[in-house]
């Protein structure tokens, strides 16, 4: 079994100044990475991918097939099962932001103000997706 828990977002770098081309390149890198991981499986092995569709991917509809991973799997011809984890993801980001804000003074006193700010920015970005109902999380089990 190969697990990819929140790691495949880093297969390519999306550049804001060339956003559309970056997203296309990202998709190709993601598809290639999934194919490479799949090729490493033993007979009967499983590849499990935890994936949150981020707000800027412009999800057409909330269906695993329309996510970046779902489209890659379809194009690659891989069979999969998808389990919707969206409600837990929404609760996580709300709780994460609340908890983070409670510890702001601790971050600052330990000299980690920049870490606090970067982490808070991530939480705020993800909460935009929650508020606009654009955040969608699945666990894909590919065999």
Q: What is the number of structural domains in the chain?
A: 1
Question: Across-strand partners of 52?
Answer: 137
pTM, entire model: 0.82
pLDDT tens digit at each of 143 positions of the chain: 898 888 887 787 666 667 667 667 778 889 999 999 999 999 999 999 999 887 666 667 788 998 889 999 999 999 999 999 999 999 999 999 999 999 999 999 999 999 999 999 999 988 988 888 888 899 999 99
Three-state DSSP state, 85? coil
> Which residue has tokens 């033993």?
42
pLDDT of residue 44: 92
From CA 114, how far away is CA 71, in angstroms rounded?
36
Q: In what order do the strands lie in the sheet with 136-142?
A: 2-5, 47-53, 136-142, 80-84
- The answer to whether 68 and 94 are in contact (CB under 8 A) is no
Task: Extract the runs of DSSP E, i.e. beta strands, from the chain.
Answer: 2-5, 47-53, 80-84, 136-142
pLDDT of residue 25: 76
From CA 67, how far away is CA 87, in angstroms rounded?
17
Q: Which domain holds residue 105?
A: 2-142
Closest CA to 50 of 80, 79, 72, 82: 82
Question: Across-strand partners of 92?
Answer: none
């Amino acid at each position: 079994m190969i697990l990819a828990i929140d790691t495949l977002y880093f297969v390519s770098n999306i550049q804001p100044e060339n956003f559309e081309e970056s997203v296309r390149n990202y998709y190709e890198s993601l598809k290639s990475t999934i194919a490479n991981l799949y090729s490493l499986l033993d007979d009967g092995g499983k590849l499990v991918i935890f994936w949150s569709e981020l707000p800027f991917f412009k999800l057409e509809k909330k269906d695993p097939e329309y996510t970046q991973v779902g489209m890659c799997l379809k194009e690659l011809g891989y069979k999969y099962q998808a389990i919707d984890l969206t409600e837990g993801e929404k609760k996580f980001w709300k709780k994460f932001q609340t908890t983070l804000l409670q510890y702001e003074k601790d971050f600052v006193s330990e000299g980690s103000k920049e870490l606090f700010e970067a982490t808070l920015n991530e939480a705020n970005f993800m909460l935009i997706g929650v508020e606009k109902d654009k955040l969608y999380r699945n666990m894909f089990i590919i065999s």
